[in-house]
Chain A
Amino acid sequence: MSYKCSRCKRDVQLDEYGGVRCPYCGHRVLLKERSRDVKEVDAQ
């Protein structure tokens, strides 16, 4: 899962030990990035 820190805007990789926290600035608000796959939607 890739996230982006909302304070320092750097990409963050989360692991199971570190908890939800930016390793660079310690900020606890992370934003999830949109996945790069193509998304198919029905126009209904």
Chain B
Amino acid sequence: MTEEYDVEFVERTDREARFLVRGVTPAFANGIRRAMLADVPTMAIDTVRFVENSSVMFDEQLALRLGLVPLTTPPVGEFVEDDTVTLSIDVEGPATAYSGDLVSSDDLVQPADDNVPIIDLKDDQRLEAEADTVLERGKGHAKHQGAVAAGYRHLQRVEVVDDVPEFEDEQSQIVRGVIEDDGELIPTSEFDHDLSNRYPGKEIELEDVPNAFVFHVETDGSFPVEEIVTRAADTIEARATELEEAVQL
């Protein structure tokens, strides 16, 4: 990897972001992507104790559903892997049990969304349960995966080469991702992913910008996008350090 690298945000919200990284190798870009998916520890429900479940679904099915509810993950250092936090739920029908009905014993670990339906309860049905959460990695189970959609594309540079010949029909040229035009970054969604909308009557050449990647990351609400990227980078560093120590003679 080159010494100098540079990060620039294209779009940025709490749960979803698109950013450009320059000066990294494809191997490093893919390493970051994989680390975001598999190596960032995230809180999720792991064991459920059912006190009462008179709903139409089996305990095991409900436990699986509860396990997949995204939970906010506490800052680094507050918890270590395998620490537990207990959540409880008590809903009586007729009502729908939502993730928002989960009551946590710790403010740092809460359901990330309040509106994930768990089960619809009819008259005289009741769900009462207690659930233990653990901090684990996406490697072990997809419920511990903080990034639900993480990927990257090459940044593409656009160059106007020529005009389209007078009697030739204009062809649409579809491109997805982010393009660079005179140093300006433009998401392709701005021109409906079709270069002929942005450069009508022009002949265009596209080329990948070497070592520049546009990441698109979406989190499940466990933490903000910046957090998951930096934590992913930290896990890579930790593993690299571990390897370095292991091969010392």
Name A residues whose Cβ lies closer than 8 Å to a Cβ of B.
34, 38-44
**A40 to B, closest residue via Cβ:** B49
By a CB distance below 8 angstroms, the chain A residues around B143 are 43
Q: Mark B146-163, 1 if CB is under 8 A from A, else 0.
A: 000000000000000000
Is the CB–CB distance between A43 and B47 below 8 Å? Answer: yes
Out of A34, A38, A39, A42, which one reaches B54, CB within 8 Å?
A34
**B69 to A, closest residue via Cβ:** A43
**A41 to B, closest residue via Cβ:** B63
A37: min CB distance to chain B, Å: 9
Name B residues whose Cβ lies closer than 8 Å to a Cβ of A.
44-51, 53-54, 59-60, 63-64, 66-67, 131, 141, 143
Known: A43-B66, A43-B67, A44-B141. A38 touches B47 (CB 8 A): no
By a CB distance below 8 angstroms, the chain A residues around B67 are 43-44
Q: Tell me the complex Cα distance, A18–B243, Å.
A: 71
A33: min CB distance to chain B, Å: 11
Write 22 A-B pairs (CB below 8 A) sorted by A numbering: A34-B53, A38-B49, A39-B49, A39-B50, A39-B59, A40-B50, A41-B49, A41-B59, A41-B63, A42-B47, A42-B63, A43-B44, A43-B45, A43-B47, A43-B48, A43-B67, A43-B131, A43-B143, A44-B46, A44-B64, A44-B67, A44-B141
Is the CB–CB distance between B51 and A40 below 8 Å? Answer: no
